[in-house]
Structure 1
Amino acid sequence: MHRIEQGLKLDIDRIVFIGRTFEEYLDMFSLSVESLKGKKILDCPSGACSFTAIGNKLGLDITACDIAYYHSAEELKNKGLQDVEHAMEHMQKAKSNYIWDYFKDVEELKKHRLSALSDCSNDMRESSERYIAVTLPTLPFADAEFDILLSAHFLFMYADRLDYEFHIETLKELLRVTKEEIRIFPLVDLEGKRYEHLEKFIGYLTDNGYSVEEVNVSYEFQRNANSMLKIVKG
């Protein structure tokens, strides 16, 4: 989440390595396994999510990329185990900021986070070619290399430390490597407030000929984080 010179490792202490499960991805992005078959998919940035690991086992074609992948699977798994523990301690204190129907309690949430971490780190060891180290706003992929790009819990969430210029530069790069569509979730910051430049961001896209739709989704865990941006090219 920090701009550093391309190719240098980010200090592992500055990475929070926590991820969502494959099922959460389907719900966050209103997707089904059938809708993704035959598509080349990029998860960017993917962190400790199990979307790539489980999706590929189901016959999908998914590539994961993240700044964290400059580190080894073993380093990241150890970091992730610590991060899940810290996150759950925080969650106990901040339970009212979340809606407890997707997960019934903190213990169930912890099981899902540990499951995602385990699937991801195991797959990193077994299929390391699927996990590409990147430093946004630059991606090492060809133009229109992927049909669909999914971007979760990154751009708008960190509006306090990633400025509008970074959002646009990253968006241009996401658009460059995508052939069909991009989905971004959620549309709020860490405090659950709608991204302050979202209308400006959407205006940039429509002015450049892209079709943009704000879509409500069935997934809501953080309060107000229940919609995504669907950007269709051409």
Structure 2
Amino acid sequence: MEYKNEVIKLSHTKLDLDRIVVIGRSYDEYVDMFKLSDKELAGKKILDCPAGACSFTAIANSKGFNNTAADIAYDHSEDDLYHKGLKDIQHAVEQMKAAKNNYVWNYFDDIGALHKHRLKALTDSTADRKKFPDRYIPATLPSLPFCDNEFDVILSAHFLFMYDDRLDETFHFQTIEEFLRVARQEVRIFPLVDLKGKRSIYLDKVIKDLKNKGFTLKEVNVNYEFQENANTMLVIKKNEHAKSSMTY
């Protein structure tokens, strides 16, 4: 891919609401998942993608930071997503009761505390989207409607690598390439395991290819683990002479 100094024009395909899972994480979870600090966030333009019902953008901007959220779900209204989110959270909680042993109950005391956090994230993100709709951009990966180097840092949680059973290798490579086009400094991806808690089948190939292209990569342990073994993130730093295209 050649970098072009122009906004990519996209014709978004609206995904049926029934196929969207609307469950969000909190600002505090993001801080721990991505090893963030107020000092690090200050003065930087951050993109959360795909952001879903996460409250990171809402709380970050309330603190005076510059945050944008992107997700295919934002083609739907705030109220539709909120009501879908309520149902999805309840469904997830019920399912989790049967699979409780697959999770580490340190970050959340119990399922009741988890439910409270998820509901708060959904409520905060919905309220912020209603008040500041320009912060929430509809986007259909692996394409983004942003200019080259528009954001300092891109954060991507619980999407790439986690769903390697349904998002194929080409999609992973194309999406990361697009993240690198839009990011000026770095991309952070969490977690690095699939839904079964095993290291993603695509992770090592992505790391090898990006290193060969001149990017700097590091797997970083973080102070967050809810799904078992999901406690590391991938940091991809852009270098001046790194090549733009990946091999896939």
Q: In the TM superposition, what is the alpha-carbon distance from 1:223 to its structure 2 partner?
A: 0.1
* 1:127 and 2:132 correspond: yes
Which residue in the other structure is 2:191 paired with?
A: 186
Which of 78, 90, 97 in structure 2 is aligned with 1:85?
Answer: 90
* 1:28 and 2:28 correspond: no
Which of 157, 160, 170 in structure 1 is aligned with 2:175?
Answer: 170
Q: In the TM superposition, what is the alpha-carbon distance from 1:34 to its structure 2 partner?
A: 1.5
* 1:40 and 2:45 correspond: yes
Q: Aligned partners of 2:35, 2:140: CA distance in 1, in Å?
A: 27
Residues 35-63 of structure 1, C-alpha deviations (whole Å, 9 max, x = no match): 11000000010010000000000000000
| Count of residue pairs the alignment pairs up | 230
Q: Aligned partners of 1:115, 1:65: CA distance in 2, in Å?
A: 20
Which of 200, 208, 214 in structure 2 is aligned with 1:209?
Answer: 214
| 2:159 match: secondary structure | coil
Structure 1: segments with no counterpart, 5+ residues? none
Q: In the TM superposition, what is the alpha-carbon distance from 1:6 to its structure 2 partner?
A: 3.6
| 1:76 match: secondary structure | helix
Residues 10-48 of structure 1, C-alpha deviations (whole Å, 9 max, x = no match): 000000000100000000001111111000000010010
State the superposition RMSD in angstroms. 0.8
* 1:64 counterpart letter in structure 2: A
Q: Aligned partners of 1:45, 1:182: CA distance in 2, in Å?
A: 13
TM-score (norm 2): 0.92
* 2:74 counterpart letter in structure 1: Y
* 1:217 counterpart letter in structure 2: V
Identity of matched residues, % = 59
* 1:59 and 2:59 correspond: no
Q: Please list every run of at least 4 consecutive aligned residues from structure 1 whose deviation after the TM superposition is greater than 3 angstroms.
A: none
TM-score (norm 1): 0.97
Q: In the TM superposition, what is the alpha-carbon distance from 1:109 to its structure 2 partner?
A: 0.2
Which of 209, 214, 233 in structure 2 is aligned with 1:228?
Answer: 233
* 2:193 counterpart letter in structure 1: V
Q: In the TM superposition, what is the alpha-carbon distance from 1:228 to its structure 2 partner?
A: 0.2
